[in-house]
Amino acid sequence: MKTIIITGGAGFIGSHVVRRFVTNYPDYQIINVDALTYAGNLENLKDIEDQPNYTFERADITDAAAINTIFEKYGVTDVVHLAAESHVDRSITNPLDFVQTNVIGTVILLEAAKKYWKDDYSKHLFYHISTDEVYGSLGTEGFFTETTKYDPHSPYSASKASSDHFVRAYHDTYGIQAIVSNCSNNYGPNHFPEKLIPLLINNILNSKQLPVYGDGKNVRDWLYVIDHARAIDLIFHKGNNGDTYNIGGFNEWTNIDLVRVLCRQMDEKLGREPGTNEKLITFVKDRPGHDARYAIDATKLNKELGWEPSVTFEQGLSETIDWYLNNKAWIERITSGAYADYYETQYDKR
Ligand code: NAD
Ligand code: DAU
Task: State pLDDT tens for residues 76-131.
Answer: 999 999 999 999 999 999 999 999 999 999 999 999 999 999 999 999 999 999 99
**Is 137 strand, coil or helix?**
coil
Say what the pLDDT of residue 337 is. 87
Most ligand 2 atoms within 8 A of CB, residue of 37, 88, 153 to mutate: 88
Residue nearest to atom 30 of ligand 2 (CA): 196
Calpha distance 25→27 (Å, rounded): 5
Task: State pLDDT tens for residues 32-46.
Answer: 999 999 999 999 999
Identified catalytic residue from 60, 78, 132, 194 = 132
Structural domains of the chain ordered from first start: 3-187+222-247 (3.40.50.720)
Quickly count: other Cβ atoms within 10 Å of residue 330's Cβ. Answer: 17
- Which residues are near ligand 1 (CB < 6 Å)? 7-8, 10-14, 34-37, 39-40, 60-62, 82-86, 101, 105, 129-131, 160, 183, 185-186, 192
**Is 263 strand, coil or helix?**
helix
Calpha distance 274→262 (Å, rounded): 12
Please indicate whether residue 132 is annotated as part of the active site.
yes
Please indicate whether residue 133 is annotated as part of the active site.
yes
SS3 percent helix, strand, coil of the chain, rounded to 5, is: 50, 15, 35
Is 90 exceeded by the pLDDT of residue 195? yes
Phi, psi of 224 (to 5 degrees): -65, 135
The ligand that comes nearest to the alpha carbon of residue 346 is 2
Share of the chain above pLDDT 70, in %: 100
Please indicate whether residue 60 is annotated as part of the active site.
no
Q: What is the largest CA-CA distance in the chain?
A: 66
DSSP at 281: E
User: How confident is the prediction for the chain on average, in pLDDT?
Assistant: 97
245: CA distance to ligand 1 center in Å? 18
Calpha distance 7→127 (Å, rounded): 11
ipTM greater than 0.85: yes
- Report the predicted TM-score, pTM, of the whole model to 2 decimal places: 0.98
DSSP at 256: H
Calpha distance 325→46 (Å, rounded): 18
Calpha distance 72→291 (Å, rounded): 42
The ligand that comes nearest to the alpha carbon of residue 63 is 1
Phi, psi of 312 (to 5 degrees): -80, 165
